[in-house]
């Protein structure tokens, strides 16, 4: 007996599914000789996992965690109907993607994925269950964390043997919630009563926190390449407008609604002072992603042939 299966997804727009979208498609399958099935069903699942290792002297410990974001089921053949199948069949399906889910993500530590999975359960035979799946990229919506516009500041004191000089930096950030590719503008005002010109630099910082099942955390912080901007030298009272570039990248997206990983972004503003003085910085949290107003706006174009196995082997596909 040979079972062939395809999971054909409706073509979507702009590359991804989003929270609140419907995942629609057709399950097509064929059986080349009469075969009795106990049940056939199709699921929409969302799963996240983290795993990493750290060394402590001669010991090396692995930390891990996992959680579920979605598990929806539709039956093609209900359990115990004991149907005999022979020939070609197709069944439409539809799943509503939940609202409160994180974006699809895969890196060296974390894997968050969403799949449509078809399960065939025979009543007899050495291999009773076969699975086929199609993974789809999903963008979860994110929530704002700060008001707009947001005013903040920092102060730096430069000491000498005879006097103390102060530098005050006041900045206004126009947006604290942006979509990938939408830049952030900062209006920077400097009160500088020193004899040294200073430069103000802005850059986007990514900080991801991973949490294991025993509540141990790993924090990865990096500066996002290509986001830095610097003001001209600023003396006395000066005003400068700076642009923090937010690249259009698939992985440049805040991660919310997850217990095992939190992904946040910050605009780091640094007052650069001459050596031997130490620079002073402040970080402003921003959210990168899409809000509920974007729900249902886009979905994904899927290459059916690439997603759906044509000739399954004897091992289950998970």
Q: Is residue 7 part of a domain?
A: yes
Asked whether residue 318 is assigned to any structural domain, the reply reads no
Q: How many CB atoms lie within 10 A of CB 33?
A: 9
Of the candidates 278, 270, 199, which has an alpha carbon nearest to the alpha carbon of residue 238? 199
**Does 217 map to a domain?**
yes
Whether the CA torsion 299, 303, 304, 310 is positive or negative: it is negative
For the chain, how many residues are written? Answer: 318
Rounded distance between C-alpha atoms, residue 301 and residue 15, angstroms: 6
Q: Is 297 left (phi over 0), alpha (psi -120 to 50) or beta?
A: alpha
Verify that 127 and 168 share a domain, yes or no. no
**How many other β-carbons are positioned within 10 Å of the β-carbon of residue 80?**
9
**Domain for residue 317, yes or no?**
no
Same domain, 24 and 113: yes
From the number of C-beta atoms within 10 Å of its C-beta (0-12, 13-18, 19+), residue 91 rates as: middle
- 63 lies in a domain? yes
Q: Encoding tokens for residue 51?
A: 């795993």
- Structural domain count, the chain: 2
pLDDT attached to residue 252: 86
Residue 308 has pLDDT above 70, yes or no: no
Residue among 238, 240, 242, 241 nearest 228 (CA): 242
Return the number of other C-beta atoms located less than 10 Å from residue 211's C-beta.
17
> Do 123 and 179 fall into the same domain?
no
pTM for this predicted structure = 0.81
Report residue 276: phi and psi, to 5°: -95, 10
pLDDT at 159 (0 to 100):
67
Q: Is residue 110 part of a domain?
A: yes
Residue corresponding to tokens 């995942």: 23
Range of lowest pLDDT (12-26, 69-83, 298-312): 298-312
Burial class (CB in 10 A: 0-12, 13-18, 19+), 47: middle
Q: Residue 160: is its pLDDT beyond 90?
A: no
pLDDT by residue (tens digit) across 4-43?
999 999 977 777 898 888 999 999 999 999 988 999 999 9
Predicted local confidence at residue 301, as pLDDT: 31
Q: For residue 192, what is the domain's CATH number?
A: 2.60.40.640
- What's the pLDDT tens digit per position in 214-269? 999 999 999 998 888 888 888 778 888 888 888 887 678 999 999 999 999 999 99
pLDDT of res. 307: 30
Predicted confidence at residue 237, as pLDDT, reads 80
Range of the domain at 76: 3-140+295-307
Mean pLDDT across the chain: 84
Least Cα distance to 287 among 162, 195, 173, 171 occurs for 173
Express each pLDDT in 259-297 by its tens digit. 999 999 999 999 888 887 788 888 989 999 988 764 433
For 168-200, how does the pLDDT look when each residue is reduced to its tens digit (9 = 90+)? 888 899 989 998 888 899 998 888 887 778 888
* Least confident window among 104-113, 156-165, 197-206, 209-218: 156-165
**Does residue 145 belong to any structural domain of this protein?**
no
Same domain flag for 154 and 283:
yes
Answer yes or no: do 167 and 45 share one domain.
no
Residue 314 reports pLDDT greater than 60: no
Both 63 and 188 in a single domain? Answer: no
Measured CA to CA, the distance from residue 304 to residue 263 in angstroms comes to 32
Question: Is residue 41 located within the same domain as residue 82?
Answer: yes
Q: Give residue for tokens 């407008």.
A: 241
More confident residue, 318 or 193: 193
pLDDT at 304 over 50: no
Q: Are residues 88 and 162 in the same domain?
A: no
Same domain, 28 and 135: yes
Of the candidates 224, 264, 265, the residue with the CA atom closest to the CA atom of residue 245: 224
Question: Quick one: 13 and 33 in the same domain?
Answer: yes
C-alpha neighbours within 13 Å on the C-beta side of residue 190: 28
Q: Are residues 217 and 231 in the same domain?
A: yes
Domain annotation covers residue 57: yes
State whether 162 and 198 are in the same domain.
yes
Q: By C-alpha distance, which of 225, 246, 242 is closest to 234?
A: 242
């Amino acid at each position: 007996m040979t079972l062939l299966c395809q999971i054909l997804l409706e073509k979507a727009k702009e590359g991804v599914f989003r929270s609140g979208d419907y995942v629609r498609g057709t399950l097509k399958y064929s059986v080349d000789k009469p075969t009795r099935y106990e049940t056939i069903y199709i699921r929409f699942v969302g799963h996240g996992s983290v795993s990493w290792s750290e060394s402590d002297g001669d010991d090396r410990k692995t930390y891990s965690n996992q959680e579920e974001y979605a598990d929806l089921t539709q039956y093609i053949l209900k359990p115990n109907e004991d149907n005999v199948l022979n020939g070609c069949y197709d069944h439409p399906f539809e799943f509503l993607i939940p609202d409160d889910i994180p974006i699809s993500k895969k890196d060296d530590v974390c894997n968050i994925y969403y799949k449509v999975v078809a399960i065939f359960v025979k009543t007899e035979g050495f291999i009773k269950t076969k699975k086929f799946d199609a993974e789809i990229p999903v963008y979860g919506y994110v929530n704002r964390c700060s008001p707009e516009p947001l005013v903040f500041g920092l102060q730096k004191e430069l000491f000498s043997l005879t006097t103390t000089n102060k530098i005050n930096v006041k900045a206004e950030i126009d947006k604290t919630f942006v979509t990938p590719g939408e830049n952030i503008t900062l209006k920077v005002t400097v009160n500088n009563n020193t004899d040294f010109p200073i430069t103000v630099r802005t850059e986007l910082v990514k900080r991801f926190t991973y949490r294991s099942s025993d509540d141990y955390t790993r924090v990865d912080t990096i500066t996002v390449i290509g986001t830095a901007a610097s003001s001209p030298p600023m003396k006395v009272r000066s005003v400068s407008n700076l642009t923090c570039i937010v690249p259009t990248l698939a992985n440049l997206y805040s991660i919310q609604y997850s217990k095992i990983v939190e992904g946040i972004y910050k605009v780091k503003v640094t007052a650069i002072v001459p050596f031997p003085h130490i620079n002073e910085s402040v970080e402003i949290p921003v959210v990168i992603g899409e809000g509920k107003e974007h729900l249902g706006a886009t979905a994904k174009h899927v290459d059916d042939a690439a997603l759906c196995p044509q000739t399954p082997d004897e091992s289950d596909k998970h």
